[in-house]
Structure 1
Amino acid sequence: MLTKKQLELLTFIHERVQSEGVSPSFDEMKLALNLRSKSGIHRLITALEERGFIRRLAHRARAIEILRLPEALGRPAATGFAPRVIEGNRNENSQAANIEPVTINAVELPMMGRIAAGVPIEAISEISHNVAVPGSMLSASGNHFALEVKGDSMIDVGINDGDVVVIRETATADNGDIVVALVDEEEATLKRFMRRGNAIALEAANPDYETRVYAEDKVRIQGRLVGLIRSY
């Protein structure tokens, strides 16, 4: 049986993973639960892990896997798209092995090369090969493609070097979306999109990287993150 705070935290993590594909940061958890320090979050996380509701993935920033949910949270979501994170090389002897297997309908997507999660690299221009991704990651409409992540500028949202991101093609984005942005028609980068008046800020999720601000006509959105395939 979970305490009220443990249930609140598990609900918050579950909803964030369903909506964004990555777990929230400890700071976001602290704010959501109205706690004064992150030490309280650490205790709640430990309690949820000991009770078999979650698993923390070693050496991964913001990587929490939900193993099971209380009956109150186990119902399917009412509406909307729920991106998933697919873990690579999972240990079959882990607690997650007790979960009933789910049949996944795979869809072949073009792998368009690498995308910089760091300093921008050359623009995406050609298909290198196809990659199979779960159909549940894809929106009902629109074209999708995959990219291999190069760099560590987005590690605080759980996007690591070598991961594969699933992108839905779009030319527009809302503040806070993680997007593939083409800068000066030359360099492509994966960053969080923020509009600042007539300028566009491309924000990293790693304090070692500065936010880059460009004139609106210097940035062209090529797609929005909808899924993540994690590699080890």
Structure 2
Amino acid sequence: MLTAKQHELIRFIQTRLEATGISPSFEEMKEALDLKSKSGVHRLISALEERGFIRRLPNRARALEIVKLPEDAVSAPRASAPTPANDAMAAALTAKAVAPEPANDVIDIPLHGRIAAGAPIEAIEGQSSLPVPAALLGPGEHFALEVSGDSMIEAGIFDGDFALIRRTDTARDGEIVVALVENEEATLKYLRRNGSSITLDPANSSYAPQVYRQDQVQVQGKLAGLLRRYH
């Protein structure tokens, strides 16, 4: 069962697609639903995507597809009295031209600091935020970490990069994860399981793999994207 805001958002997306064939921007969705930030829109879209109601089209930053509608929205629409939400939707539909617009939706995600020994992720939460193009993020909750060191350079991850992490406590072998070792050290490495042990593999031949007992390692998230600044 969808929440009221999820219902409202999927109806707005459907109305815009039927009227123009173009997905609404995060800013338009934020205004139509009277939300305070585009992060709220991202959470609603992620929830709808995870439940199979909408799908993001690949290689297009601002492309959403309705996969299915809630059962109570499938029947023919009935006339209803104007509401602020309906007025906002109508205004958003008429105020924008039909021609495609640049895909420049940006949302802020938490920036937890640098991945470094001696500082669990939880100990540095809430310090700041990082603006990220929404197209780089898939479903789920995300945070960012600034990479420290060169242990993952052969995977194209360099010192000073910002790793975009999807928060999860599970991962498959071969995925790049943020692992918390003995509740003290956060590290970005490839995950590999070997029976009762876990190996954290670097992507730099100068470094040796790190082997731990399963109870010593906690997966905190897995790599979803990367941002790099050029000076």
Query: TM-score by structure 2 length?
Result: 0.54
Match of 1:127 in 2: 126
Task: Give 1:128 shift.
Answer: 1.9
Quick check: 1:229 aligned with 2:222?
no
**How many residues align structurally?**
134
DSSP 3-state at the match of 1:136: helix
Matches within 5 A, 1:1-232: 102-116=102-116, 120-124=117-121, 125=123, 126-140=125-139, 142-232=140-230
Give distance in 1, aligned partners of 2:173 and 2:57: 19
How far the C-alpha of 1:192 sits from its partner, in A, is: 0.5
Q: Which AA in structure 2 matches 1:204?
A: P
Relative to structure 1, is the Cα distance of residues 197 and 222 closer, same or farther in structure 2, using a 3 angstrom cutoff?
A: same
Equivalent-residue separation in structure 1 for 2:103 and 2:148 (angstroms): 30
1:150 deviates by 0.5
Larger-Rg structure: 2
1:167-225 C-alpha deviation (Å, 9 max, x unpaired): 00000010111000000011100001011111110000001111001000100000000
What amino acid sits opposite 1:228 in the alignment?
L
Gaps of 5+ in 1: 1-77, 85-100
> Partner amino acid for 1:184?
E
Secondary structure of 1:122's match?
coil
Structure 1 residue 138, shift from structure 2 partner: 1.4
The 8 Å contact of residues 81 and 139 in structure 1, kept in 2 or not, is answered as no
TM-score by length of 1: 0.54
Report the aligned-residue RMSD. 2.2
**Structure 1 segments (4+ residues) deviating >3 Å:** 78-82
Maintained 8 Å contact 1:113/1:127: no
What are the Cα deviations for residues 29-60 of structure 1, in whole angstroms up to 9, with x where unaligned? Answer: xxxxxxxxxxxxxxxxxxxxxxxxxxxxxxxx
| Aligned 8 A contact 1:107 1:133 in 2 | yes
**Runs (5+) with no aligned partner, structure 2:** 1-54, 62-100
Partners of 1:80 and 1:183 in 2: how far apart? 37
Conserved 8 A contact 1:115-1:121: no
Q: Is the helix fraction higher in 1 or 2?
A: 2
Distance (whole Å) between structure 1 residues aligned to residue 130 and residue 58 of structure 2: 21
Cα distance in 2 for residues equivalent to 1:210 and 1:102: 45
Percent identity, aligned pairs only, is: 47
For residue 79 of structure 1, report the CA deviation from its aligned partner. 7.6
Distance change in 2, residues 1:192/1:102 (3 Å): farther
